[in-house]
A and B are shown apart, each in its own frame.
Chain A
């Protein structure tokens, strides 16, 4: 079972958390200005990468707060977690563990 570092609570076991989909997909401020295609992209299309992936997690059975994480979809391990609103960390120098 993975250990996930909640940016507010620290290290906690995986069962306290719920996955929340890809991160950094902001809801458009004026959805009515979007074409059907643009809106469909926002609704449905995700990057689904092999490798590092920025995603939302919620510490549901803890502080209840959402946060963002970079996880390696190959190894399943988390590389970094950070608070919402913060930019995706630049991990190009680090090896994913």
Chain B
């Protein structure tokens, strides 16, 4: 049947460029310029999908992005599978491979169609009513079954191999929609010299001008005028963007555009991204988004072959495709007549035009009568027949709102028009207020919030002449407003629109009136069995909406959610107004009293790829590595992420697991010497005459008396008294501090310091500089640390007397300037060598070489954690959780008691900090020394106590200590210090583990090993 519905001439297709494509495995022919929808119609294929809930056979409803039924999957290869594309927007290319969805085993014989027979048992809200019992069955049984049955397309399982880019653009005037109003707007704005971007979701710019064979503009046929206008815009530098959907309107005129770059190409170039996300900041916006034709809600209005009237006209005039051979038209206004006349001229028999109106008047009905078309006023369709394609309708006269006797009429096509709904989606997204227009029976843009204006049919200015005039006026106005923006550089030299530059368009076209209908048409049938669809995509019928109102739902937002009308991927483009009309009738209230649901982005479904852009794989999140990272990698280190950093977790020898490696590394530090990359520590240089005073106010400690050349462990609180961060601080001179922070806390601490410095103490003369990435930090720890470093340093005396624990000296190491700290987070003789980051790797290698005779051992963060836990040193964020004060974690000694004030001091006097049941840091020893507790596990006094068992605290750190030959743990326990010596229990799935509460310092409590 190839091509049997194609007209012999006309349309925008290229008949010299035939294309082959496949649908559900069958090969068909079409032409360049076809959409998948038009090409299938040309081949007489109307059955394109199965409906969401009832699996009813469905065909095309529309010719545009409002299509709710014809969702298809397009496949290029195993990874490039795109589900849920509207066939009306899929451009044909050679070899296109598309398939229908939501059917099994085949589209024509679909097992799920049995749902249609059970429809009386699947009313609105059936999910909530039906799947309640037995408890638990929802997750295990119902939900998986329902999802399998009621799916749309299937997501591809392979990674998306395509590229997506994200771009920014600025313009003076952004025009959305390239129909007559949008083209005229762009002409007006471009005439002033403004930077203009014109976007349209379709492959070809022009909108309704592409299907207006009978209209002329300025004595030219509309299609020729369009070509000239586009050439004029291009010459004026207007950026023309077809295949580009404005899908979101965000504050301050930020518009998100999705540009489909390669989806229409048979062989996309490898250098091209599949799509581009454009974030456009527009000075002014013109919305010229047009209007959507409304279906009529009558029984069985969803069979394949039943289309919107103007969509059928578009298929004929733009694509040269007849929707069928014999059509019945059901209309509430002039649009049906225009379709009838165009189709009749194109060779389609018009069986009848049923008009809801009692007395159709005006030029269009008159022309239809003159053409001998059977026009029937006050007539409705009360039902249709045909399984996979409509084959007849019943027509009935309406008297006093009731349908009379049915008359069968045979046909293969039914075309309907309930009038037009202005597309106010983007206006509403911009948070503009909609107002109800009683005359037009439509919501129109009212008060704007953003710098935008609507033009043409999207604000109810229907008809070609009105759209052009309104569009041109809007473009002039937008350009004039844009000139008032001080920021627009492009407008320097731009001219304000004047009478002489203004344009009027001489239009000859027969305009259609504004009649329409909202709601469900009368049919006189048993409403329990008549399926009159309101929302095609979500299978919502007039009966469902009526039921929702009977069950007490009044708000349209609630009706929407209960029935799911308007909630499908088409966002109710064709259904929202009819749903409103039905609720209005049911409740006996006018439409504007019912309200309107909220329009939200995206206007049409958008790929995940366009949002991910290049942020995937290695580029998903920035990765920070230290200057020594490459050495650790070459050495075979296992890494762990710490905030954005990659840190070496341990350095396994051949055949070692983590446990063995960490035990060996710990032993090396305790008995010989280890080397550790501490470069990720946060570092802040605090400099200035008031640096010491600033430190006094920010930290709990006292700094005034700390001598240059000395280090101090600093504790920082939030104003509420809880521990925020800690770190060792070196005083290099009276006005210069080298502050270190936790790895994850660096940015937070600097922001905290800046906040106080800028806003509370602007009188302090202090500068704060992040130096985290300027310094590489190499920790050399263990009894042999001094012996390893001594031959490498110049100008620094490492002896105990000259450089005791907690001191800092400046000099050189391995020929490089260094700030050499003597300190140990392991509790040993230790140094932290700070060198400029660019020299970090070289100095590390020099130290490692010097250490080889001593068996120097590289160690990772796990060993660092074990060693510090043996010493009872806390890690902020592991022992503390934002509710621990300094005394809770045994840091009361670091609080300067004689300081008048510091951040958090006042809060430490709050009564809560003196409660005896505060959680305090303690050590835990399991009765069985081989058992390592789980971090996070709860502690209880009596595991056999009645539920709920009182929780006393939790394990914060737990390790196997090779040094001690047993497991150790730290914990935060209510009244912990008073429980030392007692036994508590850690309930676990395999039984409670008994633990003894001990002092948290497990090793070298007197600190002798530091003092060497």
Q: A56-B759, A66-B759, A84-B759 are in contact. Are A34 and B906 (CB under 8 A)?
A: yes
Within 8 A of B (CB), among A1-60: 1-3, 11, 18, 20, 26-27, 30-32, 34, 36, 39, 43, 56, 58, 60
Residues in B whose Cβ lies below 8 Å from that of A20: 755
Closest chain-B Cβ to A61's Cβ sits at a distance in Å of: 12
With the chains together, A30 CA to B900 CA distance in Å?
9
Q: Is the CB of A27 within 8 A of B760?
A: yes
Within 8 A of B (CB), among A52-97: 56, 58, 60, 64-66, 75-77, 84-85
Q: Is the CB of B487 within 8 A of A32?
A: no
Choose one: A2, A39, A56, A76; the contact of B907 (CB below 8 Å): A39
Residues in A whose Cβ lies below 8 Å from that of B431: 75
In the complex, B905 has a CB within 8 A of chain A: yes
With the chains together, A4 CA to B595 CA distance in Å?
33
Closest chain-A Cβ to B407's Cβ sits at a distance in Å of: 57
Closest chain-B Cβ to A84's Cβ sits at a distance in Å of: 6
In the complex, B762 has a CB within 8 A of chain A: yes
Q: Is the CB of B758 within 8 A of A11?
A: no
With the chains together, A39 CA to B719 CA distance in Å?
10
Total number of A-B contacts with CB less than 8 angstroms? 53
Choose one: A3, A43, A66; the contact of B758 (CB below 8 Å): A66
Residues in B whose Cβ lies below 8 Å from that of A2: 251-252
CB closest residue in chain A, given B902? A31
Residues in A whose Cβ lies below 8 Å from that of B901: 30-32
With the chains together, A65 CA to B754 CA distance in Å?
8
Q: Is the CB of B900 within 8 A of A32?
A: yes
Q: Is the CB of B251 within 8 A of A60?
A: no
Within 8 A of A (CB), among B867-904: 900-901
Q: A3-B252, A43-B719, A64-B754 are in contact. Are A36 and B759 (CB under 8 A)?
A: no
Choose one: A3, A76, A84; the contact of B762 (CB below 8 Å): A84
Q: Is the CB of B251 within 8 A of A31?
A: no
Q: A31-B901, A31-B905, A32-B900 are in contact. Are A65 and B251 (CB under 8 A)?
A: no
With the chains together, A27 CA to B755 CA distance in Å?
12
Q: Is the CB of B751 within 8 A of A60?
A: yes
With the chains together, A59 CA to B822 CA distance in Å?
38
Q: Is the CB of B251 within 8 A of A1?
A: yes
Residues in A whose Cβ lies below 8 Å from that of B117: none
Choose one: A58, A66, A76; the contact of B251 (CB below 8 Å): A76
Within 8 A of A (CB), among B896-934: 900-901, 905-907, 909-911
Q: Is the CB of B906 within 8 A of A31?
A: yes
Closest chain-B Cβ to A51's Cβ sits at a distance in Å of: 16
Q: Is the CB of A36 within 8 A of B911?
A: yes
CB closest residue in chain A, given B768? A64
Q: Is the CB of A43 within 8 A of B907?
A: yes
Q: Is the CB of B762 within 8 A of A85?
A: yes
Choose one: B758, B907, B910; the contact of A65 (CB below 8 Å): B758
0 or 1 for each of B386-424: is its CB under 8 Å from A? (1 = yes): 000000000000000000000000000000000000000
CB closest residue in chain A, given B903? A27
CB closest residue in chain B, given A64? B754
0 or 1 for each of B433-462: is its CB under 8 Å from A? (1 = yes): 000000000000000010000000000000
With the chains together, A31 CA to B905 CA distance in Å?
8
Closest chain-A Cβ to B195's Cβ sits at a distance in Å of: 18
CB closest residue in chain A, given B757? A66
In the complex, B28 has a CB within 8 A of chain A: no
With the chains together, A18 CA to B758 CA distance in Å?
15
Q: Is the CB of B906 within 8 A of A84?
A: no
Q: Is the CB of A39 within 8 A of B762?
A: no
CB closest residue in chain B, given A36? B910
Q: Is the CB of A84 within 8 A of B758?
A: yes
CB closest residue in chain A, given B252? A3
CB closest residue in chain A, given B910? A36
With the chains together, A79 CA to B981 CA distance in Å?
62
In the complex, B225 has a CB within 8 A of chain A: no
Residues in A whose Cβ lies below 8 Å from that of B760: 26-27
Q: Is the CB of A75 within 8 A of B449?
A: yes
Q: Is the CB of A1 within 8 A of B252?
A: yes
With the chains together, A3 CA to B907 CA distance in Å?
38
Q: Is the CB of A66 within 8 A of B719?
A: no
0 or 1 for each of B751-776: is its CB under 8 Å from A? (1 = yes): 10011001110100000000000000
CB closest residue in chain B, given A11? B487
Q: Is the CB of A66 within 8 A of B911?
A: no
Residues in A whose Cβ lies below 8 Å from that of B599: none
Residues in B whose Cβ lies below 8 Å from that of A60: 751
Q: Is the CB of B720 within 8 A of A43?
A: yes
Closest chain-B Cβ to A26's Cβ sits at a distance in Å of: 8
Closest chain-B Cβ to A24's Cβ sits at a distance in Å of: 10
With the chains together, A64 CA to B759 CA distance in Å?
12
Closest chain-A Cβ to B897's Cβ sits at a distance in Å of: 13
Closest chain-A Cβ to B281's Cβ sits at a distance in Å of: 8
With the chains together, A30 CA to B906 CA distance in Å?
9
In the complex, B250 has a CB within 8 A of chain A: yes
Q: Is the CB of A77 within 8 A of B251?
A: yes
Residues in B whose Cβ lies below 8 Å from that of A84: 758-759, 762
CB closest residue in chain B, given A29? B901
With the chains together, A60 CA to B751 CA distance in Å?
9
Residues in B whose Cβ lies below 8 Å from that of A77: 251
Closest chain-A Cβ to B468's Cβ sits at a distance in Å of: 32
With the chains together, A39 CA to B911 CA distance in Å?
12
CB closest residue in chain A, given B756? A27
In the complex, B254 has a CB within 8 A of chain A: yes
Choose one: B250, B907, B909, B910; the contact of A1 (CB below 8 Å): B250
Residues in B whose Cβ lies below 8 Å from that of A30: 901
With the chains together, A35 CA to B590 CA distance in Å?
59
With the chains together, A58 CA to B751 CA distance in Å?
9
CB closest residue in chain B, given A28? B906
CB closest residue in chain A, given B911? A36
With the chains together, A36 CA to B910 CA distance in Å?
7
Closest chain-A Cβ to B829's Cβ sits at a distance in Å of: 40
Q: Is the CB of B759 within 8 A of A1?
A: no
With the chains together, A36 CA to B721 CA distance in Å?
13
Residues in A whose Cβ lies below 8 Å from that of B719: 27, 43
Within 8 A of A (CB), among B817-840: none
CB closest residue in chain A, given B251? A2
Residues in B whose Cβ lies below 8 Å from that of A36: 909-911
Closest chain-A Cβ to B525's Cβ sits at a distance in Å of: 48
Residues in B whose Cβ lies below 8 Å from that of A76: 251
CB closest residue in chain A, given B760? A27
With the chains together, A14 CA to B589 CA distance in Å?
43
Give 24 A-B contacts (CB < 8 Å), ordered by A residue: A1-B250, A1-B252, A1-B254, A1-B279, A11-B487, A20-B755, A27-B760, A30-B901, A31-B905, A31-B906, A32-B901, A32-B905, A32-B909, A43-B719, A43-B720, A43-B907, A56-B759, A58-B755, A60-B751, A64-B754, A65-B758, A66-B754, A75-B431, A85-B762
In addition to A1-B252, A30-B901, A75-B431, 6 A-B residue pairs with Cβ atoms within 8 Å of each other are A11-B487, A20-B755, A26-B760, A32-B901, A36-B911, A39-B907
Top 4 A-B residue pairs of the complex, sorted by shortest distance between their CB atoms:
A31-B906, A3-B252, A1-B254, A66-B758
